[in-house]
Amino acid sequence: MFRVKVLRRYDVSSRFKLITYLTSFIVGIAFFVLFEALLGTNPYEVVDRLFIRPLTSYDDFRVSIRYTVPIGIIASGLLLVYRAGIYSIGAEGQMAVGAVFAAWAAYTLSLGSPTSVLVALSIGMLGGIIWGLLPAILKALLNVNEVLTTLMMNFIAYSLVDYLIYGPWRSPKSYGFPLTEPIPTAFTIPTYEGIPVINFLVLLTVVLFTYVVARMSKLGFQIRAYGLNPSAAYASGMSFFKVVLLSFIISSALAGLAGALQLLSIHQRLGPKSWSVTEGLGYTAIVAAWISRLEPLAVVPASLLMGALVNGGLAIKAVLGQSEGVVNLMNGMILLSIVAAEFFINYRLVVRLR
């Protein structure tokens, strides 16, 4: 008979960690491809859409970048809260409300070109913060489960957007579709050959910002302390209230910023599901944050990768007539296998014959 023993690993090399994570990522994708194959999709086609085209085709790359930017900006914020051991999944709703606030600014304020965009982006960030504030305060004061409250805020945000696009903001010129008017041109952010270059520069700035906050600031140190050992952090006099509130505010402001950027440069109007500004990217960013191992600089490759995968997933959906669920399924499979991979870094299995 076999007997499997679980042994703890000590001093794991970073090379081994990297190999294990990459392997687990590939395993997650492999399960996804296998599932698609079971549905009758040609597995080569799936791999082609997910990996080969985004790397070889300029057109695909241009579209991928549109997803990369919001995923990266949101993931940068999320990794701060995740580092503190707070599991916010509210980025999707904060992003949606950020877009709503930015749209409000665009429809009501009359400003000249560079100021208008800056004002709309700031108001979008404010919208994100407002949406994240209730879960943040409840967590900071009463330790209310933030997973559930942030998720509920997402559902409420969806309803709010639906109310606006089916109700007061619905454009009479949209041929019956629940879409709002395009935002005034003064508020749009230009793209170059379809590439949102400015947005990408914003992403790089955000990554540097979170790097400084996470690695060099006092707040970043306190965040890490709470994530690693809450009772020790509390005992050494660090304020739980401050850590929760500040990390939450930064992450929801960044989610709001991502929503505003997507609205002003890519979508330029609000719409229902499948034309929505968020496109579920607030959830994809969760996966990107964990792929980056909560390291700020690793967010750039992680979001490039997830942007390409989202683009590939949506291409599979469009070309092969599948549904929105493609991206969800892929995200879930990747996330599940990378969290389970932690085991193989901390432990090893010894199989013995008895």
Partner 1 sequence: MIDIVLIGNFIFLTLKNAVPLILATTGEVITERSGVINLGVEGCMIVAALVGVVTTLLSGNYLVGLLLGGLVGALLALLHGLATVVFGANQIVSGIATTMVGLGITSLLGRGYVGRSLLGLRPSPLYPYDIPLPDYLKPLASAIVKQDVVVYISIIIPILCMWFLFKTKLGGAIRACGENPVVAESLGVDVVRTRLLAVGLGGFLVGLGGAYLSLGIVGSWVENITAGIGWVAVGLVAFSMWVPLRALLASYMMASLISISYMLQGRVGISSYFLSMIPYIATIAILAIVSVERFRLRLGAPAALGKPYIREERLG
Interacting residue ranges for partner 1, rule: CB under 8 A: 5-8, 35, 39, 87, 89, 134-135, 138, 142-145, 147-149, 151-153, 155-156, 159-160, 162-163, 166-167, 283, 286, 290, 322-333, 335-336, 339-340, 342-343, 346-347, 350
Tokens of 158: 């969806």
Instruction: Between 8 and 173, name the residue whose CB sits nearer to partner 1.
Output: 8
Instruction: Between 112 and 167, name the residue whose CB sits nearer to partner 1.
Output: 167
Instruction: Between 102 and 289, name the residue whose CB sits nearer to partner 1.
Output: 289
Q: How far apart are CA 140 and CA 128, in angstroms?
A: 18
Please state the closest distance from residue 118 (CB atom) to partner 1, in A.
31
- Which of 241, 245, 238 minimizes the C-alpha distance to 224? 238
CB-hemisphere CA count at 13 Å for 341?
Answer: 22
Name the packing angle between helices 91-108 and 113-142 (round to 10°): 140
Please state the closest distance from residue 342 (CB atom) to partner 1, in A.
6
Q: Give Cβ neighbours of residue 268 (< 8 Å, ≥ 6 apart).
A: 182, 183, 188
**Backbone phi and psi for residue 190, each to the nearest 5 degrees, phi listed first:** -70, 150
Instruction: Between 65 and 233, name the residue whose CB sits nearer to partner 1.
Output: 233
DSSP annotation string for 119-172: HHHHHHHHHHHHHHHHHHHHHHHH---HHHHHHHHHHHHHHHHHHHHHTTTB-T
Secondary structure letter of residue 195 according to DSSP? B
Please state the closest distance from residue 138 (CB atom) to partner 1, in A.
6
Please state the closest distance from residue 71 (CB atom) to partner 1, in A.
15
Q: How far apart are CA 205 and CA 76, in angstroms?
A: 11
Instruction: Between 42 and 185, name the residue whose CB sits nearer to partner 1.
Output: 42
Instruction: Between 149 and 303, name the residue whose CB sits nearer to partner 1.
Output: 149
Instruction: Between 138 and 197, name the residue whose CB sits nearer to partner 1.
Output: 138
**C-alpha separations of 193 from 60, 110, 258, 315 in Å:** 12, 28, 21, 20
Tokens of 277: 């500004």
Please state the closest distance from residue 114 (CB atom) to partner 1, in A.
35
Instruction: Between 59 and 342, name the residue whose CB sits nearer to partner 1.
Output: 342
Please state the closest distance from residue 343 (CB atom) to partner 1, in A.
4
Q: Give Cβ neighbours of residue 229 (< 8 Å, ≥ 6 apart).
A: none
Please state the closest distance from residue 60 (CB atom) to partner 1, in A.
22
Instruction: Between 11 and 193, name the residue whose CB sits nearer to partner 1.
Output: 11
Please state the closest distance from residue 350 (CB atom) to partner 1, in A.
8
Please state the closest distance from residue 230 (CB atom) to partner 1, in A.
13
Tokens of 215: 């690695």
Helix (H, G, I), strand (E, B) or coil at 3: strand
Q: Which residue has the tokens 């800056």?
A: 118
